[in-house]
Structure 1
Amino acid sequence: MGEPIQVVPASAALSGAFFADIGIHGLFTLSFSIPSVTNANVVMVSMTELNGNTNLPFIGDATMTVHNVAPGNGTVQVRGEVDWDSNLSTRVYFLVT
């Protein structure tokens, strides 16, 4: 699966909220590095497409689905799908409780 993808805090005001920007399409299983996470945490994940010009979230024509989320010690594995023929700029959000 390779090295975990690094995430960044979504906002200083939202402790426990993180995101990672990736380019992806099709069915995927990826590991994301969130050092504060343990296998006892609840982790919620969502995805959105990013506008190529502004890097802002928007709803395009592709459907994006999160299938499974598995928190581990320092990582979160996500299985999902971006239903498009080529890579799309995608933001993956994490809310950790």
Structure 2
Amino acid sequence: MMKTCFVVMGFDTKVDFATGRKLNLNATYHNLIKPAVEAAGLQCTRADEITHSGNINVPMYLNILTADVVIADVSTANCNAFYELGVRHALRPSTTIIISEDGYILSRST
């Protein structure tokens, strides 16, 4: 059976509010993440590719739990992506990869 990778990230074009940059998350997924994952021999899926009826949460969280690897793109500081990353990291931290676009700025209070 082929190993799986579930990708946690937003969809479409979003603004990185820290920098004001517009990021095409679909292009990032389809042109960078998915080809790299598939070249590594894993089946790659993002939430918008899950066939389901009703609430997406059940199959999405099942993928977050059962995927061999989860990649979380935090480029746009998406609250849902952070939450889903936290769920995955609590369940299976050693097979969770966090990525972001170049220039990602994490604001910290000092």
Settle same-fold status: TM greater than 0.5: no
Looking at secondary structure, tell me which structure has more helix per residue. 2
TM-score between both structures, scaled by the size of structure 2 = 0.22
Looking at secondary structure, tell me which structure has more strand per residue. 1
TM-score between both structures, scaled by the size of structure 1 = 0.23
